Structure 1
Amino acid sequence: MVLCALCCVSAVSDRGALSTCNYSHNVTFFYNLVGKKISERWSTRDSVVIGVGLTVCVIVVLANLMVMLAILKNRRFHFPIYYLLANMAAADLFAGVAYANLMLNTGPWTRTLTKEQWYIRGALIDISLTASIANLLAVAVERHQTIISMQLHSNMTKRRVALLIVCIWAAGIFMGLVPSTFWNCECDLDDCSTVAPLYSRRFLIFWAVFNLVTFFIMVAIYTRIFIYVKCQSQYTSAHTTENRHNQMIINLMKTISMVLGAFVICWTPGLMVLLMDGLLGKASKANNYEKFCLVIAECNSLVNPIIYSLRDEDMRRTFKWILCCLCRGDEGQQRQLSPVKVDSPQLEVCLGYRAETDG
């Protein structure tokens, strides 16, 4: 991922060095250049959109924070695949923060942004998307290696998982910095995007194609895994124990596949709009679809916690345990609940203790 980006960045940097750059232009200049209108005052529609958007952002942050807390508290989730899912929740949480920042720096407020602030606004979205994609790819590879050996969980050490997570976020930060540092249109005004006026259209083409190809690779990996598991299940149909083990693998795979499917469905329209903008420029009329695609992409960060709660009984029980303890609100009682008992069964521990104290 990083090497491919470096090659493209190097080519653009060499070409940009031959052009005359004028860094004195402000954000408004680039918006006027591509014909993207900046609202002068807040309309009722804009206020409603901002209000709903910020509300969704708060829900996204809280929901994914609960997923991370559930994985931390429940020992049944202390395996590499769940650590990666917790990191996915962290990426979704970060996305909620990024969207909130976008909401608070859009509309008439766009005129007040410096170029550095505008680049930061876009970089936060790029980082969250890259981290999510890299994390899903890591999950796909981990599941492929694990299931081919017919294991439920891999033998990857916590240290290696931590290193992998660090690499995922390093890749996200790198890709977030590329447009502001190397690959923008400040030295080539004819290359400015209509969706993101300071971004290079060539960067949007690379960004969209790279992510769409990654989607295809992940779908291919999961398709191969499902075919392999199905074939193995036919051979082990006579063994009850192996059947149960295979069913656990299939259930986990279905959950992860739903997460991947939701991600692809929510992000593909936005990536297609970026690709159209990069290829056609103003003729694509990409600005007409930009906000709708952004809303769909934002919804993806809210979908994953719902999938976890519907598909995983242990995760659902842990959610109930957390909500139960939060609603009770008695710190003294919470201290008497040992965190190591959260794994079996959570809700009964909390409710049982409350019934005992009430009696």
Structure 2
Amino acid sequence: MKWVWSGGLRTNPSDPRMRRGQSGPSSHCSALPFCPPLTPPSPPEKQPTAPPHPPRVSKMDSKVNNPPGCHYNETVEFFYNHSGKLISPTWRKRDFLVVGLGLTVCIIVILANILVMTAIIINRRFHFPIYYLLGNLAAADLFAGISYLYLMFHTGPWTVKLKKQEWFIRQGLIDTSLTASVVNLLAVAVERHQTVFTMQLHSTMTNQRVVLLIVGIWGLAIIMGLVPTMGWHCICDLEGCSTMAPMYSRTYMVFWAGLNLLTFSIMVAVYTRIFIYVRHKSHRMSQHTTQVRHRQTVINLMKTVSMILGAFVICWTPGLVVLLLDGLDCVSCKVLNYEKYCLVLAECNSLMNPIIYSYRDKDMRRTFKRILCFLCRRSSDQEGEQSGVHFNTLEQENHNRETDSAKNGNNGAQLLALQNSGEPLPS
């Protein structure tokens, strides 16, 4: 192969492009200092760029956000269907009845317990540790009423629309209210045990200790309400899911129900011991009037507290037993058939305490009347100012009647005196 220098470039004569009629580097590039390439240049190849790096996720975050075998991305309905507690997509007559009755009871519970708390605040006779604890029990019942009110607006077909966080909030509110009530009743039992065994009416506990005790009660209640949310659930263990609470673990249900039933047993044992002691002590006390009255006052207060405890145990024990059976995976027990009835019974317990106070405690009953009469008087005064008509209260009516009768009596005495003196009577 021979190479020929043409225009300062080395070319190959045997190249077909050097033939006649075809353009080649010798025909076009003779006068140029350089010759373009024989073939058009190919575009430069782009350097392959590395794909963007995904955001770095630590091992801890990956385990929390998407652990293997967990179902954090599933809906609430998924857990209900898996547990066999099917949700109706439409409203049934039963749902309307449950929600309507539940809303009515919740409103009454809230108003009644606000009345109890107001009575304890405004009446100085109730400014003692035992009544502070009973007021805290009313606060727990008030919180229970609010919790059930929230439940009524997130039940039935509305449950399908709930997020998992909202479902845990709904259940956590109820758990918190129950824990606050149970621990508060246990504190009342300890306080009564301390005072009765010294035959005192009220405890010597200072107000600061009572406040710390109440704060501790609510702190423990909030922690117990947050336990399932913090990890004791069945999102990563579908086989361990409860039937009544489809995202709660059955082990938690056993722990929860068993702990409350154990607390009930302790309180019943404490009150039984107190009653045995009071009965034995009353036979040995002298028949002095002051001691008899003091003993009777202590016994009456003990009866009131015992009625509160008895109502609580009666209303909550069926529900806790059903929860325990559900946690033990008793398939033949058919716990879902009793769920609604146990819920209504537990809800009614928050209404029992104001009724017991009204029936057993005269001072509490009088304070209730004062509050209600004040509200009625205030509303009637406002209506009278707007309409220009003044409505007298019961006390004012009685005062007016006494004044009129006194005037009539004085007029009658004057007329009788004039008649006896022989003077003419006024026409």
User: Is the pair's TM-score, using the shorter chain for normalization, greater than 0.5?
Assistant: yes
Q: Check 1:35–1:147 CA distance in 2 against 1; reply closer, same or farther (3 A cut).
A: same
Give the letter aligned to residue 148 of structure 2: Y
Match of residue 161, structure 1, among 204, 210, 214: 210
Aligned to 1:285: 334
Q: Deviations over 1:151-176 (max 9, x none)?
A: 00011111111111111111110000
User: When the two structures are aligned, how many residues end up with a matched partner?
Assistant: 327
Secondary structure of 1:180 counterpart: coil
Match of residue 145, structure 1, among 194, 201, 224: 194
Instruction: Name the CA distance, whole Å, in 1 between partners of 2:379 and 2:344.
Output: 38
Q: Is 1:184 matched up with 2:233? A: yes
Instruction: Name the CA distance, whole Å, in 2 between partners of 1:128 and 1:357.
Output: 49
Alignment of 1:278-317 (within 5 A): 278-317=327-366
CA RMSD across the alignment: 1.9
Q: Check 1:354–1:99 CA distance in 2 against 1; reply closer, same or farther (3 A cut).
A: farther
Secondary structure of 2:227 counterpart: helix
Runs (5+) with no aligned partner, structure 1: 1-16, 334-349
Give how far 1:22 is off. 3.0
Runs (5+) with no aligned partner, structure 2: 1-65, 383-392, 404-427
- Alignment TM-score, normalising by the size of structure 1: 0.87
Q: Is 1:217 matched up with 2:271? A: no
Give the letter aligned to residue 58 of structure 1: I
Q: Deviations over 1:270-328 (max 9, x none)?
A: 00000000102544321111011000000100111000000000000000111111111
Give the letter aligned to residue 374 of structure 2: C
Secondary structure of 1:280 counterpart: coil
Match of residue 267, structure 1, among 286, 307, 316: 316
Aligned to 1:205: 254
Give the letter aligned to residue 114 of structure 1: K
Instruction: Name the CA distance, whole Å, in 2 between partners of 1:57 and 1:321.
Output: 24
Instruction: Name the CA distance, whole Å, in 2 between partners of 1:232 and 1:19.
Output: 65
Moved over 4 A (4+): 330-333, 353-359
Answer whether contact 1:36 1:194 (CA < 8 A) is retained: yes
Give how far 1:26 is off. 1.2
Moved more, 157-166 or 274-283: 274-283
Which one has a bigger Cα radius of gyration?
Answer: 2
Aligned to 1:131: 180
- Alignment TM-score, normalising by the size of structure 2: 0.74
Q: Check 1:357–1:327 CA distance in 2 against 1; reply closer, same or farther (3 A cut).
A: farther
Give the letter aligned to residue 313 of structure 1: K
Which structure has the highest helix share of the two?
1
Secondary structure of 1:329 counterpart: helix
Instruction: Name the CA distance, whole Å, in 2 between partners of 1:113 and 1:126.
Output: 18
Give the letter aligned to residue 100 of structure 1: L
Q: Deviations over 1:44-63 (max 9, x none)?
A: 22112211110110000000
Give the letter aligned to residue 325 of structure 1: F
Aligned to 2:133: 84
Aligned to 1:35: 84
Instruction: Name the CA distance, whole Å, in 2 between partners of 1:183 and 1:199.
Output: 7
Q: Deviations over 1:321-351 (max 9, x none)?
A: 1111111115989xxxxxxxxxxxxxxxx85
Q: Deviations over 1:54-83 (max 9, x none)?
A: 011000000010000000011100000000
Give how far 1:238 is off. 2.0
Q: Check 1:293–1:351 CA distance in 2 against 1; reply closer, same or farther (3 A cut).
A: same
Give how far 1:237 is off. 3.9
Answer whether contact 1:19 1:188 (CA < 8 A) is retained: no
Instruction: Name the CA distance, whole Å, in 1 between partners of 2:87 and 2:307.
Output: 38
Identity %: 64
Aligned to 2:153: 104
Aligned to 2:377: 328
Aligned to 1:233: 282
Answer whether contact 2:250 2:329 (CA < 8 A) is retained: no
Name which structure has the greater RCO, CA cutoff 8 Å, separation 6+.
1
Secondary structure of 1:181 counterpart: coil
Instruction: Name the CA distance, whole Å, in 1 between partners of 2:318 and 2:201.
Output: 34
